Chains A and B, each alone.
Chain A
Amino acid sequence: MPEKRIVLKNCEVIDPRRITTYLDRDGFRAWEKVRSEMTPEQVIGEVKASGLRGRGGAGFPCGLKWELARKAPGDEKYVICNADEGEVGTFKDRYILENDPFTLVEGIAIAAYAIGTKQSYIYLRAEYHYLFDLLMNAISQARERGFLEYLDIDIREGAGAYVCGEESALMDSIEGKRGEVRYRPPFPPEKGLWEKPTIINNVETLMNIPQIVLNGANWFNQIGTERSKGTKVFSVSGDVERPGVYELVLGSQLRELVMELALAKKVKIIQVGGATGRMIPYTMVDTPLSFETILGAGAITVLDESRDVVDAVYRTLEFLAEESCGKCSPCREGTETMVGILERFSRGEGEERDIRLLEELSNAMMLSSLCGLGQAAPIPVMDSLEYFRDDYESRIKQKQGGIVA
């Protein structure tokens, strides 16, 4: 399946500093349509029918999330745009914000109208502070033109914490606290920011909204696979000739993205979905990219044949251990223990029982961690043990003098 620009339609076409260039390309026409012709329920119905699922990695149906928040009791509700793109190897939201902040503003305006709120936030990661002014400029130009008559969009900045991309930690961070994960239920559409009904959508999810409204759910519904509608924006990095951002119809093959567009050669491993994503061997390069198969937030890091799998997994787990918020012990202790074991393997001093221990730990963490970080941290370990077990076994230290651990 081909490249298709829905989300990136205006990127490198409009001037991200001038709203007029956006208005020339149907900018805010979806918002005008919503405001003049549609009830909030109709907007939600359209988004539901489109089949749009969250682009931050979890893939929750967007329209359903909005409906839950719309129906939740109370006058005080919030829309949050998650621009805390911290997943290793992801930079697509940065590219989107750099090139087309206006579509995002329009998407937020429609989301706020749908759930019934006058207050929204963009949570921008501290590492992207250089995008702050551009984003503020887009918001004020939209306000000057009268598109944000009923809505405040405030930018809240993070302060350097990967886990704050997790929605409940993100809300704690907006509240000014440590970005620690919350127990769920209750889920945000019921009790979110300041315990009020809240929807949190990824930048890319909201970027899809104006065109769904303008072209209709049926148009969107025909793109993609049965359970993955529309396109996905991918960030490709690592051992490729052309790293960058690519938008493909969902269901396209990994091969098309990695080999044909990014021009990778002699591929050994492809990390799909960043640190908490899958690590798959080249033999699986024909896998389609979709929610049914593999996807995540669209981070693709390619490692060629010269790379060492154990080293890559070790670095990945080191990252996760450092970024664990520390609230639950399976993640806090589990990631640290894994780092210790992997470090031994990378020195060629692994032991037979370490492999068993890694597997046991993985199971415990997946079942008992509080959030996606701890639940998914074992994925690179499990995948590498499944596909590259020899790389571990060759690093088990020789048992000496008959003493077996």
Chain B
Amino acid sequence: MDKIREETASRGKDSENLLVLLKRAQGELGCVPGEVIAEVAQSLNIPINEVYGVATFYSFLSTKPLGRNVIRICKSLPCYLKNSQMIVESIADRLGIKSGETTSDGKFSFELTNCIGACDKAPAMLINNDVHGDLTPRKISQILKTYT
């Protein structure tokens, strides 16, 4: 039983879990660049392509650098019905960038994302880990000011 428990512990260990490691890198570095992918592959003794495969599968991991604050605007049907396009335009207008881009000062990146589970407050978006709902252009400019 002890042996089983040990094996279970090592299986569940964060330090050996590829996704956990990549999420940590994303959190600390703001992206998972090629060098990190190679390092992680080496430390876990697995092929680079396997690490790359995971790093590019999930939408919250990025191989390219992102801004300090990542805005994710929901583009799914319930938000679309509540004019999420207006949010996209308003953000693009204020930040001077298109979706998929980062501001030159590195403060904001913005992208479109699929349903974030805030359909009761549509249109909605995430900035980093915060959810903002019932958005209007006016509300957006106030919200953006609170991020540095």
Contacts of A127 in B (CB 8 A): 113, 116-117, 126
Pairwise interchain contact B115-A88, C-beta atoms closer than 8 A: yes
A162-B114, A176-B18, A238-B77 known; A244-B120 Cβ under 8 A: yes
Pairwise interchain contact A239-B19, C-beta atoms closer than 8 A: no
Pairwise interchain contact B60-A126, C-beta atoms closer than 8 A: yes
A160-B113, A176-B20, A243-B122 known; A303-B81 Cβ under 8 A: yes
Pairwise interchain contact A86-B114, C-beta atoms closer than 8 A: yes
A243 to B118, CA, bound (A): 10
A336-356 contacts to B (CB < 8 Å): none
A245 to B120, CA, bound (A): 8
A286 to B115, CA, bound (A): 28
B94-148 contacts to A (CB < 8 Å): 113-122, 126, 129-131
- Chain B nearest CB, measured from A176 CB (Å): 4
Contacts of A322 in B (CB 8 A): 114
Q: Residue on A with the closest CB to B61?
A: A159
Q: Residue on A with the closest CB to B120?
A: A243
Q: Does A235 have its Cβ within 8 Å of any Cβ on chain B?
A: yes
Pairwise interchain contact A89-B129, C-beta atoms closer than 8 A: no
A119-B8, A129-B129 known; A88-B81 Cβ under 8 A: no
Pairwise interchain contact A238-B78, C-beta atoms closer than 8 A: yes
Pairwise interchain contact B120-A315, C-beta atoms closer than 8 A: no
Pairwise interchain contact B131-A237, C-beta atoms closer than 8 A: no
A75-B1, A76-B8, A307-B81 known; A158-B119 Cβ under 8 A: no
Residues 298-338 of chain A: 1 if any B CB is under 8 Å from the residue's CB, otherwise 0? 00010100010000100110010011010000000000000
Report which of B17, B59, B118 forms a contact with A160, defined as CB distance below 8 A. B59
A127 to B129, CA, bound (A): 7
Pairwise interchain contact B8-A88, C-beta atoms closer than 8 A: no
Q: Residue on A with the closest CB to B59?
A: A160
A85-B117, A161-B58, A176-B18 known; A75-B126 Cβ under 8 A: no
Q: Residue on B with the closest CB to A175?
A: B17
Contacts of A178 in B (CB 8 A): 53-54, 57
Pairwise interchain contact A86-B115, C-beta atoms closer than 8 A: yes
Q: Does B76 have its Cβ within 8 Å of any Cβ on chain A?
A: yes
Pairwise interchain contact B8-A87, C-beta atoms closer than 8 A: no
Report which of A75, A154, A237 forms a contact with B119, defined as CB distance below 8 A. A237
Contacts of B23 in A (CB 8 A): 157, 159
Q: Does A219 have its Cβ within 8 Å of any Cβ on chain B?
A: no
A236 to B121, CA, bound (A): 11
Q: Does A130 have its Cβ within 8 Å of any Cβ on chain B?
A: yes
Residues 128-157 of chain A: 1 if any B CB is under 8 Å from the residue's CB, otherwise 0? 111000000000000000000000001001
Report which of B7, B53, B58, B119 forms a contact with A159, defined as CB distance below 8 A. B58
Pairwise interchain contact A91-B119, C-beta atoms closer than 8 A: yes
Contacts of B114 in A (CB 8 A): 86, 88, 162, 319, 322-323
Residues 105-116 of chain A: 1 if any B CB is under 8 Å from the residue's CB, otherwise 0? 000000000000
A160-B58, A194-B11, A243-B122 known; A130-B19 Cβ under 8 A: no
A85 to B18, CA, bound (A): 22
Q: Does A205 have its Cβ within 8 Å of any Cβ on chain B?
A: no
Q: Does A179 have its Cβ within 8 Å of any Cβ on chain B?
A: yes
Pairwise interchain contact B120-A161, C-beta atoms closer than 8 A: no
B7-60 contacts to A (CB < 8 Å): 7-8, 11-12, 16-23, 26, 53-54, 57-60
Contacts of B61 in A (CB 8 A): 159-160
A119 to B57, CA, bound (A): 27
Q: Does A255 have its Cβ within 8 Å of any Cβ on chain B?
A: no
B residues with a Cβ closer than 8 A to A are: 1, 4, 7-8, 11-12, 16-23, 26, 53-54, 57-61, 76-78, 80-81, 113-122, 126, 129-131
- Other than the given A86-B114, A88-B78, A178-B57, 9 more pairs (CB < 8 A) read A86-B117, A94-B118, A130-B130, A130-B131, A159-B19, A159-B22, A176-B54, A237-B119, A301-B81
Of the A-B pairs whose beta carbons lie under 8 Å apart in the complex, a sample of 29, sorted by A's number, is: A86-B115, A88-B114, A88-B115, A89-B76, A89-B115, A90-B115, A126-B60, A127-B126, A130-B131, A159-B22, A160-B58, A160-B60, A162-B115, A176-B16, A176-B19, A176-B54, A177-B54, A235-B120, A237-B81, A237-B119, A237-B122, A238-B78, A243-B120, A243-B122, A244-B120, A275-B77, A315-B77, A319-B115, A322-B114
